[in-house]
């Protein structure tokens, strides 16, 4: 805000002397003041005036019956010319109330909006459940053609999820065209190649194509904001929260199906074929949309859940990876580079990066390093050592036996993870030594996301012909 505009704004505002407010919100006012000063757009004297005005507003609102927290949030929101500043403050501080009243700037949805969103979700969930069974109309039963479903299950499920968000975010124009074109290209490359049944390249496409498609879901989720690092971080949060809800739905659905099967079996009706051929695949597909809707509808609950899970699992993963590194060094045994173990290792390394991201996004950036930050560095360094040892084992097998689809895919993925983990460790160390801001670590992670999508596309498009569809 320009100094003249600021002075006019303060002079025009109703003022009365007030230097103290309820102690329960002093910490929040201090955070707000530090953020304004850190931006450098206002001097200390101007910030003093602005803070005094904020306190006046809080006191006035408190006299109307609002609680101190509510009064502070409304007072910040009413600073009309400072909306851009408070909007950025809300993005950096992810408490639910700040985002609800400052970031969105909109009231809670009414009953009609909730009903409309619910029925929209139900429509797309049913469409996803139907889509997963469409191939069966053309003789593509899972029991007889599992290779087809390995390659296409990501397409059949994620296309509807992307469409759901494109509809919800009102994605239009070139963005919508590109989304449709890229999904269509994924379908072509998943089915155009003459794959050898049960071959390595077919499985690699089935594993890597969903990675690329999930980033397309992210594009529809972010809509016009896909270039924003803050918004990419929102999609990373959504991914973790969606996974949590999906697992909960799957556990509940599994219990329901077991009870259903047992009940019908008790009266002499066999339900195995119906459950395996219809209920399970349709439930798997439809639950992807239901979980996305739950994340959007119940965000305040899940935002408290994900950081808690991060704090629980960070020390556990750090201990596990550190013990693995010590055992490898102590025994002198190399990591087995068999496909299944490499896949498990790569998934574990991605989980490590997810734990790091969630922890960074959930903490106060201006707070000093804590024990959890040191544990994160131990976790990242241990994961990096395991990744390097896996790379050494892969290169050793390649030099001895040559390139295969699995070894090449493992080499590429572990190189990508090594770069990410290595620079993350360096940025984490810089933060612990007070030489780098924590925001640099988050920016590195969100900027690196497209690399995974690019690698997924390379494996899907180039590997089958490169290795003769074996």
Contact in structure between 160 and 128 (CB atoms under 8 Å): yes
Residue 226: DSSP 8-state: T
3-state SS string for 156-188:
HHHHHHHHHHHHHCCCCHHHHHHHHHHHHHHHH
Residue 66: alpha-carbon gap to chain centroid: 35
Which is nearest to 386 in space by CA: 340, 441, 344? 344
Which is nearest to 380 in space by CA: 344, 342, 354? 354
The residue with tokens 């299944």 is 340
**How many whole angstroms separate alpha carbon 386 and alpha carbon 342?**
11
- pTM for the model stands at 0.70
Domain residue ranges in the chain: 3-103, 110-297, 301-436
Query: Cβ neighbours of residue 64 under 8 Å, at least 6 residues apart?
Result: none
CA distances to 3, 10, 377 from 424, rounded to whole Å, are: 40, 44, 9
Give one DSSP letter per residue of 333-373, joined into a string. Answer: PPPP--HHHHHHHHHHHHHHHHHHHHHHHHS-TTSPP-HHH
**How many whole angstroms separate alpha carbon 257 and alpha carbon 249?**
12
Q: Helix (H) and strand (E) counts for the chain?
A: 18, 0
Q: Can you give the pLDDT of all 470 residues of the chain as single tens digits?
A: 444 444 444 444 444 333 445 666 777 777 777 777 666 566 666 777 777 878 888 887 777 777 777 777 777 766 644 545 555 555 544 444 444 444 444 444 556 777 888 899 999 999 999 988 888 877 777 666 777 888 888 898 999 999 999 998 888 888 899 999 999 999 998 888 888 877 888 888 888 899 999 999 999 998 877 777 777 888 888 888 888 888 888 888 888 888 878 878 777 778 877 888 888 888 889 999 999 998 887 654 445 566 667 777 888 888 888 888 888 778 777 676 666 777 778 888 888 888 888 777 766 666 788 888 898 899 899 989 988 988 988 898 888 888 889 889 989 999 999 999 999 999 999 989 888 888 888 889 888 989 999 999 999 999 999 888 77
């Amino acid at each position: 805000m320009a100094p003249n505009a600021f002075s006019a704004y303060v002079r025009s505002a109703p003022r009365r002397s007030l230097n103290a407010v309820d102690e329960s919100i002093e910490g929040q006012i201090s955070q707000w003041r530090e953020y304004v000063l850190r931006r450098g757009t206002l001097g200390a004297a101007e910030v003093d005036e602005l803070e005094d005005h904020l306190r006046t507003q809080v006191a006035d609102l408190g006299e109307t019956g609002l609680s101190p927290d509510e009064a502070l949030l409304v007072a910040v929101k009413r600073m009309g010319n400072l909306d851009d500043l408070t909007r950025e403050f809300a993005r950096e501080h992810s408490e639910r109330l700040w985002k609800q009243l400052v970031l969105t700037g909109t009231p809670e949805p009414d009953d009609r909006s909730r009903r409309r969103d619910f029925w929209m979700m139900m429509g797309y969930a049913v469409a996803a459940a139907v889509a997963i069974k469409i191939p069966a109309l053309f003789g593509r039963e899972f029991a007889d053609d599992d290779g087809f479903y390995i390659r296409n299950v990501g397409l059949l499920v994620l296309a509807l999820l992307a469409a759901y968000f494109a509809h919800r975010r009102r994605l239009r124009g070139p963005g919508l065209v590109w989304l449709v074109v890229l999904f269509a290209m994924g379908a072509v490359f998943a089915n155009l190649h003459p794959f050898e049944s049960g071959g390595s390249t077919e499985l690699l496409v089935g594993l890597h194509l969903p990675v690329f498609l999930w980033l397309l879901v992210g594009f529809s989720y972010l809509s016009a904001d896909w270039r924003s690092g803050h918004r990419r971080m929102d999609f990373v949060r959504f991914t973790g929260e969606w996974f949590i809800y999906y697992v909960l739905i799957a556990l509940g659905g599994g219990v329901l199906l077991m009870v259903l099967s047992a009940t019908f079996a008790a009266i002499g009706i066999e339900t195995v074929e119906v459950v395996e051929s219809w209920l399970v695949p349709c439930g798997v597909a439809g639950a992807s949309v239901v979980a996305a809707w739950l994340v959007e509808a119940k965000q305040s609950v899940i935002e408290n859940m994900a950081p808690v899970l991060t704090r629980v699992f960070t020390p556990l993963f750090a201990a596990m990876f550190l013990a693995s590194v010590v055992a490898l060094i102590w025994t002198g045994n190399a990591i087995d580079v068999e496909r299944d173990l490499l896949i498990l290792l790569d998934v574990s390394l991605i989980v490590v990066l997810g734990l790091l991201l969630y922890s960074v996004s959930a903490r106060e950036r201006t707070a000093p390093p804590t024990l959890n930050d040191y544990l994160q560095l131990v976790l990242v360094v241990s994961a990096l050592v395991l990744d390097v040892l896996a790379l050494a084992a892969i290169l050793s097998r390649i030099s001895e036996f040559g390139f295969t689809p699995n070894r090449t895919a493992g080499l590429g993925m572990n190189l990508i993870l090594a770069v990410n983990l290595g620079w993350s460790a360096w940025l984490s160390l810089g933060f612990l030594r007070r030489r780098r801001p924590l925001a640099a670590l988050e920016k590195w992670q969100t900027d690196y996301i497209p690399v995974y999508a690019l690698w997924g596309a390379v494996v899907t498009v180039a590997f089958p012909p490169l290795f003769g569809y074996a």
